[in-house]
Structure 1
C-alpha cells in the first residue's frame, strides 16, 4: 500500500459542478483511484496512511460545507495522515443503489480493507445511514454517525414523513437495515438532538450492545454543520478512530458550545418558550460577560429588565 503524508493541495472552490467533478476525479486518480458508480454515485480513494476514513457525502454537502469544496476525508489526509475513501452522491440518495453494493462487494473480494489497521465509517443524516449500513463490509470497523436514519421502510418508520419520496426505494435488500449492519462493528457512536423528535426516534432504533448514543440538546437538525463551524468534527473523528471517545471526553469537547451563538440562542429561546424570565436574564448576563459581540442577548436583557421594572412598578401601585 502506498504511504505518503503529502497534503492534498487541490482547491476545488469556485468551480462549476462538471469541472469540480473532473478536478476531484483527477486528484483521486493521482493518489489512489476514482470510480463512477452509475449516474448518481462515485467513489474517490486517497492512499495515505494505515487509518482509513470511509466517509459518505453528497456533492451539495461537500461544496457547501468546505471552504475549499473538498471532502471531509481529505481534511483527515492533511491533518492526520489518514487514507480517505469518499462515497459521493448526487443529492440525498441514502446510497441505495446496486452499483454501490457492487463496489463494496468488490472491495471485500479484493481484500481492500485488510490493508488498514483502523477503519472508521462516517456520515450525517442520509449519509449517516449509509455509514452504518455499509460498515458491515469491514468487520471490526468503527462508526461515527450523526443524526442517522435507521431505515425508510414505511413498515418500520411510517411515522417519519420527511422523506416520503423515498418510500418506493427498497431498504430491505442488501445493506438494508442500518442498525443490524452494525453487529460486526467494533463500536459505533450515534449523535443526535433529542429535541428533534424524529431524529430521536431513529436513534432509539440503534440501541445495540456496541452502540453509544450521545445527545446534543439545542443543536437542531444540522448538527454536522454546527460541529464543523465550531471546529469539533475533526477532533470527534480522531477520538472515534483511536478509541478515546467516551462520555466524559464527548462532554469536554462539547463545552465549546458555550461560545457558539446559535446554540446559545437556542437555549435562550427554549427558556423564553417556558416563560422563565429570571433564568433568561441569567443566561443573557453570562453570555455578555464572556462574549464580545452578542447584540441579541444585550437587547433581550434590556427587554427583560424593562419588563421586570414594569412588573415591580405595578406591584408597588397595587400595594398603595
Structure 2
C-alpha cells in the first residue's frame, strides 16, 4: 500500500505560465512530493501545460467554480479547499503558496528534514518577504525567472498596519480550515499543548492571529524558513501574469501594478541569495521535467504563446501601455472604466442631479420640451436603488454562480442566512437593535466579515424590528431547522450576539445542546413577571413573552460553555447577570463599558482575538483579562475612570489618571516603533 505523502503543497493558478515548471521544480527539489493545483473550472478543461504535468503524475488538479464577482477571493477559496486535503490524512505536512511564492530553507535540504528537527511541532509560520532582481528589467523571457533574483525589500514595520504576511506549514490531520496564511478554527483531536512556532523555531506570539503578529517583531523571524515572493521578475512578466486573469474585468488596473513597479525599482533593497541555495537541485528537477515529452511540448507551446501574446498586448492593451509608459517615466494615467460598468450619478440618490449647463444652440432652433420622467407603478424608488447597487458579499457566496452552498430565507420580520464553509464549525449570530432599520441592499449580518475571514460556516438571524426575536414565525422556522439536523451536523456550534442579540444567543442555545455561547451585555428576559425592575427597551417589553425561549437563564443549561461579558458597574445589566447560574457560565467583567461592552471591546482592538479564542476554546478568565489590558490606552476608559473617581470624591486620584494614561500611550508608542 502506498505511503501517504510527506509534504503536500497546494496552490491556486489563474493560468500557469512557462515559469510554473520552475516553480514545480523548485519545490520538488526541497522535498515536496505532492503538489495539488486548484484551477478555474472551465468548459475547455485545464490549460495544456497544467494538463501535461498532471498526466505525467507531477501535479494533481482540482477545478473549482470561478466567481467573477469574487475574483479577489479565489486564493482564499482555494486555501479553504486546501485545508480539506490537509485534514484528510494524519501523516506529513501541508503548505499553501501562491504562484509567485517560493519556499526557502536556509539550513535544511528538505521540508521534511526541517520538521523532523522541530520535534512535536504542529504549525510553523514562515514570513513572506519580497524578492527582486538587482535592477528592473523590462522584456519578458519565457521560462525560469529565479536566476537573477538576489535582493529583497526591507521588512514592513511591526506597527499593526497590516504590511506583513505569513505562510504556515501545518501538521496534516489537525485543522479542517485555513486562510492562505495560517490555519484557523479548532484542531480535530485533543492536544495537551499546541506547539506553533515562528520561522526561527521559537513560539509564535499569542493570542495567535494576524492582529497579534502584525505588532510583534518576533513573529517575522526566519532563521529556519522563509517564503520568497517574486512579484516582478520583469515588467512584461508581471503584465503577462495579469493578462491571464479571467474574466477581463477581474484583471488588474494600472493603480494596482504601479506600487509593485515602485517596489521593484526602489533603492533600499538588501542583497539576499537565499534562492541560490537550491539552484543546482532546481536545475536538475527542471531538466527531469522537460525530459518528459508531453511536458516538454506543452512547455514550448506555452513559451511561444507568451511571446505572441506580448507582441499583441504591447501594441493594443491599455494596461500594458500605461505600465510600460510609467516605467519609462510617464505619469500614471487614471484607471479606465470597467467594461460594462454602470454609470453612477454623483448627486445623492434622494436628490435630483444638477442639470448640466446648456450648450449654445442656433437661434432658429427652439429647445425641445423636456419629457416628464415616467414612474413605473410597480417599481418603487427603493427597489430601483437596490437593483442598481452592487450585491452584498454574502450574496456573492451563495447565488447560483457562487462558490458556496447555502440558503436565504426571508420571513416577515426576520431573515435567515446560511453559508456553508467549514464542515466542522458553525457560527450562529444574532443582530442587535442598532441595525434593525438598515434596509440597504449591502447589509451584512453581525460579525459576517470575521466569520468569513475565519472560513467558518455562518448561520445569521437578521432582524427587521426590535422584538427580541419574539416572533412565532421565526421560532417555528428555527425549530424546523433543528429537527432537520441543520445544526447537529456540525462538530462545533458557537452562538454569539450583543444586547438583544446576546439575549438570543443564550435563549436559543437549548436548540443546540453542547454549543458555546458568547453574549455581550445581554438581557436574560424582558418578561415583566420575571424582571419587574427592567424599565428599558419598551418595544421589547411589549412583545409576547409567553412564547418559547423567553428566559435565557433557563435555556443555557445544556450549553457546553457560556461566556458573558458585562460591566459590573452598570446595574441594569448586572441585575440580569445575577439571574445566571451554572458551572458552564464564565462571567467576564468589562469595567466602564456601560451597556456597550462589544463596542468597548472593539475599540480596544481585541474583539477579533477574543472571538477567535472562544471558537478555539482557549478563552479563560486569565487570558481574557490579559487581553483586556489593552483598554488602558483607550480614551473612553480614561474618561470613565476620571468621572467615577470624581463622583466618589477622589479628586486627587482623578488628577493622576490623565498623566498615567499618557504614560501608557507613550510606552505603547515606543514599543510599536
**TM-fit CA distance, 1:266:** 0.4
Is 1:202 paired with 2:576? yes
Contact 2:568 2:589 in 1 (8 A): yes
**TM-fit CA distance, 1:236:** 1.8
Which residue does the alignment assign to 2:601?
227
Contact 1:59 1:88 in 2 (8 A): no
Q: How is 1:221-260 mapped onto 2 (pairs within 5 angstroms)?
A: 221-260=595-634
Distance 1:15 1:93 in 2: 30
**TM-fit CA distance, 1:131:** 0.6
Structure 2 counterpart SS, 1:205: coil
Distance 1:266 1:59 in 2: 24
Contact 1:76 1:82 in 2 (8 A): no
Contact 2:394 2:444 in 1 (8 A): no
Which residue does the alignment assign to 1:48?
421
Match 1:160 to one of 519, 522, 534: 534
Structure 1 counterpart SS, 2:594: coil
Contact 1:142 1:186 in 2 (8 A): yes
Is 1:105 paired with 2:474? no
How many residue pairs get aligned? The number is 280
Contact 1:33 1:46 in 2 (8 A): yes
Distance 1:252 1:37, change over 3 A: same
Deviates more, 1:279-288 or 1:132-141: 279-288
Structure 2 counterpart SS, 1:184: coil
Is 1:79 paired with 2:445? no
Distance 2:496 2:390 in 1: 21
Distance 2:349 2:476 in 1: 30
Structure 2 counterpart SS, 1:154: coil
Is 1:123 paired with 2:492? no
Deviates more, 1:267-276 or 1:123-132: 267-276
Structure 1 counterpart SS, 2:487: helix
Match 2:515 to one of 134, 141, 154: 141
**TM-fit CA distance, 1:115:** 2.3
Contact 2:510 2:556 in 1 (8 A): yes
**TM-fit CA distance, 1:238:** 1.4
Higher Rg of the two aligned structures: 2
Structure 2 counterpart SS, 1:235: helix
Q: What is the RMSD computed on CA atoms of the aligned residues?
A: 2.8
**TM-fit CA distance, 1:198:** 0.9
Which residue does the alignment assign to 1:304?
none
Contact 2:466 2:540 in 1 (8 A): no
Distance 1:184 1:102, change over 3 A: same
**TM-fit CA distance, 1:139:** 0.7
Q: Deviations over 1:224-249 (max 9, x none)?
A: 12222222222222111221111101
**TM-fit CA distance, 1:145:** 0.7
Is 1:26 paired with 2:363? no
**TM-fit CA distance, 1:58:** 4.3
**TM-fit CA distance, 1:265:** 0.8
**TM-fit CA distance, 1:168:** 3.6
Distance 1:90 1:107, change over 3 A: same
Contact 2:566 2:590 in 1 (8 A): yes
Contact 1:25 1:34 in 2 (8 A): no
Match 1:171 to one of 536, 545, 553: 545
Distance 1:22 1:97 in 2: 28
Structure 1 counterpart SS, 2:576: helix
Distance 1:208 1:162, change over 3 A: same
Distance 1:136 1:264, change over 3 A: same
Contact 2:425 2:490 in 1 (8 A): yes
Contact 1:193 1:221 in 2 (8 A): yes
Distance 1:169 1:181, change over 3 A: same
**TM-fit CA distance, 1:60:** 4.3
Distance 1:232 1:91, change over 3 A: farther
In the superposition, the TM-score normalised over structure 2's length comes to 0.39
- As a proportion of its length, which structure holds more helix? 1
Segments of structure 2 that go 5 or more residues without pairing to the other structure are 1-75, 82-178, 180-347, 351-381, 667-673
**TM-fit CA distance, 1:22:** 6.3
Contact 2:432 2:498 in 1 (8 A): no
Distance 1:42 1:261, change over 3 A: same
Contact 1:120 1:141 in 2 (8 A): yes
Segments of structure 1 that go 5 or more residues without pairing to the other structure are 8-13, 293-320
